[in-house]
Amino acid sequence: MKKRFPLSKVYSLLEPGPLLLLTTAHRNASDVMPMTWYSLLAFEPPQVACVVSAGNHSQALLRASKACVLNIPTVELAKQVVGCGNCSGAEVDKFAKFALSCSAAEQVAAPLLDDCFASLECRVVDTGLRRYEQFVLEVVAAWVDPKVKDPRTLHHRGYGKFMVAGESIKLRSRMR
């Protein structure tokens, strides 16, 4: 069960660049796709720039709804993640195909993925970088499972190779 997470700490979830599962919904359609091309833009409210290609069904839903959820999976979901990247929501119901259970978000139509340890509800705040298929998202609500201490997130290293995180080291006393 996830609990509300402070927006001021959202950056700490994204700083290491974990692979995300982007969920979108508009009218009767919903979709989910893996996404790794994104970058933090601001601490609070947290803003993220991301690439969602025009060839992806998710882009149409993102444009239409102007909202989405960034879900952060761990290694246990690796096979479903890759499966979601191999097909399109235009042709298949990925939630059913990969048995992804969902909960309603608080502020957006896109669903929260229950098996992801964190889910960030976002609104699209800028589409000005259309040339680059980039969208600027603002996180409006964040949910994290407090029981997950060192999440074993996936970090794509290209060509289907993933690095798995999970160990934390503390260097606070050395930092300015």
Q: Which residues bind ligand FMN (CB under 6 A)?
A: 19, 31, 33-37, 51-53, 56-58, 82, 85, 87-90, 156
CA separation for the pair 56, 65 (Å, rounded):
15
CB of 101: closest distance to ligand FMN in angstroms?
18
CB of 117: closest distance to ligand FMN in angstroms?
18
Buried b (16+ CB within 10 A) or exposed e, 70-83: bbbbbeebeebbeb
Nearer to ligand FMN, 15 or 173 (CB): 15
Nearer to ligand FMN, 2 or 57 (CB): 57
Nearer to ligand FMN, 2 or 21 (CB): 21
CB of 4: closest distance to ligand FMN in angstroms?
27
Q: Report the sign of the C-alpha dihedral through residues 29, 35, 37, 40, in that order.
A: positive
Phi first, then psi: what are they for 67, rounded to 5°? -160, 165
Taking alpha carbons only, the member of 117, 19, 28, 12 closest to residue 65 is 28
Nearer to ligand FMN, 39 or 107 (CB): 39
CB of 116: closest distance to ligand FMN in angstroms?
15
